[in-house]
A and B are shown apart, each in its own frame.
Chain A
Amino acid sequence: MKKILFLFVAVLLFVTGCSKSNESSSSTSKSGLDDKKIVKIGWQNSGFPSPFTFDTNGPGGFLRNSFLFDTLTWKDDTGVIPWLAPSWEVSEDNLEYTFTLEKDVTFHDGESLTADDVVFSYNYFKENTFQWNTDMTKVASAEKISDHEVKITLTEPYVPFISEIAGKLPIIPKHIWSKVEQPLEYQEDEALIGSGPFTLDSYDSATGNYKFAKNENYFKGDVTVDEVQYLATENRMLSLQNKEIDGGMTFNYTEVQQLEKSGYGVLKSEPTGSAVRVVFNLKNEKLSDKNLRQAIAYALDRSSIAEKLTGNSEVMVGSAGVIPPDSTWYKKDVKQYDYNVEQANAILDKLGYEKNDAGIREDLDLSVLVSSTSKEAELMKSMLANVGIKLDIQTVDSATFSTAMAEGNYDMSITGHIGLSGDPDFLRLWFSGQASNSLAGKGVFENEEFQKLASLQLKQGNEAERKATVDEMQDILAEELPTLVLYHRPFYYVYDSSVFSGWFNTYGGISDGIPLTDNKAVFVDYK
Chain B
Amino acid sequence: MEKTSNYRLGTWVAEILLIVIGLIFLVPFYFLLVNSIKSFGDILAHSASWPTTFRFENYANAWNKISFPTALGNSLIVTIVSNALLLLISSMAAYQMVRHDTPFNRFLFGLLVAAMVVPFQSIMLPLMEVSNVLSLNNSIPGLILCYLGFGAPLSVFLFHGFIKTVPIEIEQAARVDGSSRYGVFFRIVCPLLLPMFVTVLILNTLWIWNDYLLPSLILNDPELRTIPIATYMLFGQYTKQWDLALPALVLGITPIVVFFLVMQKYIVSGIAAGAVKG
Whether A and B are associated in the same complex: the answer reads no
